[in-house]
Every structure is written in structure tokens, then in C-alpha cells.
Amino acid sequence: MSIPQRPLVSVIMPAYNVEAYITQAIESVLAQTYSHFELIIADDDSNDKTASYIHSFSDDRIVSLKNKKNLGYAGNMNTLFKAARGEYIVIQDADDYCTPNRLQVLVDFLQAHQAVDMVGSSYVKIDEEDKEEKVSLSEDRKEIESAFDKLLDPLPVLNGAVMFRRKIIEEGFFFRPLLYVNRAQDDDWLFRVSEKFCLANVNEYLYYYRYNPSSMTMNLSSINYFSLFSGDYVRFLKKYRMETGIDLLAEKNTKEIGAFFQQKKKEVTQQQPAYLELYIAHKYLALEDRARTIQWLFKALLKNPGDAFIWKKIGFVLLNRKN
């Protein structure tokens, strides 16, 4: 039996409950003008029809994995990192899609620029109403490096749009669990990668990034004050590393990390005691879930019964049936 030729490129696709989008994501990869790739899809124990849509494709370039239990985005990404065989690894989120020339452009760039370890691209942002907005990212490597050091938000490289050399994985740069939160692991990964490797962008719109409320909210019942500040958290960790050379997470320094979260909670609750409850209510409102919106607005009211804004918001939701 012949041994399958090792592909130059591994496209990795983490998938969880994306039945509405995964067909388009897979088709956009299979339609690439560059053909020497494998597409590894890891279904993170979805409970919708995601798995059946994956299995509807019979292309030999697809490697389909199925997690026995839900690992979360970070755990699923690490599964894919370990499964990838290519010299170049490409992230393709399962609710996004890409242009037919994406792989060719990025492969050509890395082959022509040996000093660059990771390359992203400009992208098109798509909202829940399918409206498109072009987002141009800087090609200047010094600007990109400076943006990471300045802790800019959003970051100067889009996680889902990158191709990188496998040495990043071989040197141990996997996603890692973040103490107290289960989000922003992608930004934490990019911050750590940027500290050792050279990152760049091509100024072509090669990626279509789908921005919608349901993909942002995760499991709303698990949101707490820690998760509200996940973006600030990874920037705090990065700043601490820059200033002291110490990785608080690696050292499991719960004292410093806990103090950060307590300060952030103090800041927001001084302005609005029901900040968390209102945040979740607005997320459910964006999802058009009136019942849960009202439920969380009343929780907010218990925290701050004299707040006229909350009363008005409850009245608005009750009177507007479409919401």
C-alpha cells in the first residue's frame, strides 16, 4: 500500500453547531486554485446537523475528526494542530469562508518571505443581515509588531485568516486554558506568538469573517464578571510579561490575576451595579429571545431597583413583540 503524499498545506477547521454555514466554508476551501492541501475538520461534539453536512462531502482531501466530548474552541484547535501534517497551517473557521485564491496568495507570500512566520490578510466582515464591510489590515511588519506591543483592540492580525509555518506548533505554541475564563484564547495565542515570531499581512481581501450575535455569546448561562473582561485579561497578561518578563498564567499566580478581575468588577459596578445582568439581557435581545431578555432585565432590577433605564428597557421589550 502506498503512503499518501504529505501535503504542503493543512487547512484546519474547528466546527461546533454551524449547520447554517459549514457547507459554504467547506466549499470555499475545496474550490481553491491551489490544490496541494488537506482539509482537517474537527466536529466538537455538535448537537445539530453539523456532522451530517461534513459527511456529505466525499473529497479525498478532507480528513474528518469527531471529538467524543465537547472540548471548547481552544481544545478543538489543539486537536487540529496535532493532526495537521503540512509545512504550512491555515485556520479556517467553520462559519466563515474564503476567496478561491486565498491559499495560493498566502503560500506564495511565505515562500517569498522566509523571515515571516505567519501571514494574514485583510478581510470582509459580514454582519447578521449579510451586510459587508471591508477591513484593511496593515502590511507594515513594524506597525503590526507595534500594535501588539500597544495592546490594540482589535489585533492587527485576524486569527481566522492566518497561514503559519508548522515550526510555531513544533515549538509548543498551542492554545492554552485561561484561568477563570473560557474565551479569548485566540488573542492570547496571537500575543504569545507575536513575541517570538514575525507576523505580516497581505493587503488582499481573502477572508470573509461572519460577525453575528449567536457566535459571540457562547453559552450565556456561563457568563460571569470574569468572562466580561476576557479581552482586557489577555492584554493584562501581555503587559505584565512585557514589564516583568513573568507569565502570570504559567506561574499560576492567582493573587495578581484575581486582583485584576476585582478591580475591573469594581470599576463597572460603581457605574452600574447591574452591569452583568444588563449585558446578558442585551445579548439575548440581539438573539431575539424575549423571554430570557425579560428574565435578565428583572434580575438587573433586583440589583438596582431605582434605575429608570431598566424600567424603560423592560417596557420597551414588553411592548415590542418583534423583540
Please state, in angstroms and rounded to a whole number, the distance separating the CA atoms of residues 44 and 77: 10
CATH of domain 220-319: 1.25.40
pTM assigned to the model: 0.91
The pLDDT, as a whole number, for residue 129 is 85
For the 9-217 domain, the top CATH level (class) is: alpha beta
Beta carbons within 8 Å of 145's beta carbon, 6+ residues apart: 194, 199
What is the torsional sign of CA 298, 303, 306, 312? negative
pLDDT confidence of residue 323: 45
Cβ atoms 283, 221 nearer than 8 A: no
Residues of the chain with CATH 1.25.40: 220-319
Residue 254 has which C-alpha cell?
A: 492567582
**CA-based nearest residue to 276, from 265, 286, 284:** 265
Q: Distance between CA 232 and CA 260 in Å, rounded?
A: 9
pLDDT in the model for residue 3: 41
For residue 1, how many other CB atoms are within 10 A of its CB? 3
CA–CA separation, 84 vs 175, rounded Å? 15
pLDDT value, residue 125:
96
Question: Would you give the DSSP letter of residue 65?
Answer: E
- Answer yes or no: are the C-beta atoms of 241 and 195 closer than 8 Å: yes
Tens digit of each residue's pLDDT, the chain (323 residues): 334 577 899 999 999 999 999 999 999 999 999 999 999 999 999 999 999 999 999 999 999 999 999 999 999 999 999 999 999 999 999 999 999 999 999 999 999 999 999 999 999 999 888 899 999 999 999 999 999 999 999 999 999 999 999 999 999 999 999 999 988 999 999 999 999 999 999 999 999 999 865 444 456 777 889 999 999 999 999 999 999 999 999 999 999 999 999 999 999 999 999 999 999 999 888 888 899 999 999 999 999 999 999 999 999 999 986 54
Type and span of the H or E element at 124? strand 118-126
Residue 85's SS3 state is: coil
**Which residues are CB-neighbours of 304 under 8 A, at least 6 positions away?**
272, 273, 274, 310
